Structure 1
Amino acid sequence: MESLYDPKGNQNIIDRIDSLTPIKLSLWGKMTVSQMLEHCQQPIKVCFGTLHIQPHWKSYFLKNSYKKVLHSKQPFRRDLSTIKEYNITHEPHFETAKQQLKELVATFAKEGHGCIKQHRHPLMGNLTHHEWDLLQWKHLDHHLKQFGV
């Protein structure tokens, strides 16, 4: 598994983001490519401490199950649900959303572990720096594959 802290792994994700176009269609799901780009920013903003979401009630019962999925070598399933704060219902401007996501991703390689300001995930409870990295990489990989890149 690649790492967003590693400059090479980070650049690989950014290159995949760069290959997206505004007319790229998803292979599954309902999001447009612009909505996906903004959706992928939300969990990064949580770990950077710029988006504050209260712990979800499911976290008290299911955090160990969620962490098991996180640590699995398997990619995320296509039918995983998301928390409502990550749902993007408007149509973001493609280039703006793309640039903002690339900047957020680049921060991992630039700042390393120092970019993580929030250790509590709304569904998984407290995460280590490694777990935040793993979660972000798997989440980005999942959605980039959703759009064929």
Structure 2
Amino acid sequence: MKSLFSDDAVSEIRTRIELLQETQNPKWGKMNVSQMLAHCKFPLQVALGELALEKPNVFKRILFSMFKSSLYNDKPWKQNLPTTKEFVVSSDKNFNKGRTDLLEEIEKFHAKKEQTEWPPHPMFGEFTQEQWGQMQYKHLDHHLKQFGA
């Protein structure tokens, strides 16, 4: 699995984001491309400690633990998976600002590639540095594929 801590993977993701057009339609899902760009910032912000999520109850934590490895393994995510309420974007967003903001968050995350200590994810618990990088790449790749990029 590629990692957002890899220079090559960041370059690839950046190129794919820059190729997006405001009028692109999704292959699946409810978000338009501008909403997707805004949505993709949130997991990066969680990793960077910029966005706090509500911790789930014990039952949900147990349920989430069963799916934890799917966040960073090589198997593609299914289309139309549910997302946490804090990551839902339903209002209109500015495409150019969304693209710029997402690219900035990617750079901030990538700049921490030497960081070895990471805070636990509020829903899934502990991740290694490698798993954080893989998970962030996988999320971006999933949504870029959603828009054919």
Q: Normalising by the residue count of structure 2, what TM-score does the alignment of the two structures yield?
A: 0.90
CA contact (8 A) 1:44 1:104 kept: yes
Structure 1, unmatched stretches of 5+, are: none
Which structure is higher in helix share? 1
Show CA shifts across 1:56-107 (max 9, x none).
Answer: 2354212322213124321111131100000011111100010010111122
**SS of structure 2 residue aligned to 1:89:** coil
Matched, 1:86 2:101: no
The Cα RMSD (Å) is: 1.8
**Deviating more after overlay: 65-74 vs 13-22:** 65-74
Percent identity (aligned): 34
Matched, 1:27 2:43: no
CA contact (8 A) 1:35 1:92 kept: yes
The change in CA–CA distance for 1:5 and 1:90 in structure 2 (over 3 A counts) is: same
Give 1:9's aligned residue. Answer: 9
Q: Runs in 1 of length 4+ with deviation above 3 angstroms?
A: none
Show CA shifts across 1:100-120 (max 9, x none).
Answer: 101111223333143x88522
Matched, 1:61 2:62: yes
Query: 2: CA distance between counterparts of 1:20 and 1:90?
Result: 19
Structure 2, unmatched stretches of 5+, are: none
**SS of structure 2 residue aligned to 1:121:** coil
Q: Normalising by the residue count of structure 1, what TM-score does the alignment of the two structures yield?
A: 0.90
When the two structures are aligned, how many residues end up with a matched partner? 148
**Deviating more after overlay: 57-66 vs 11-20:** 57-66
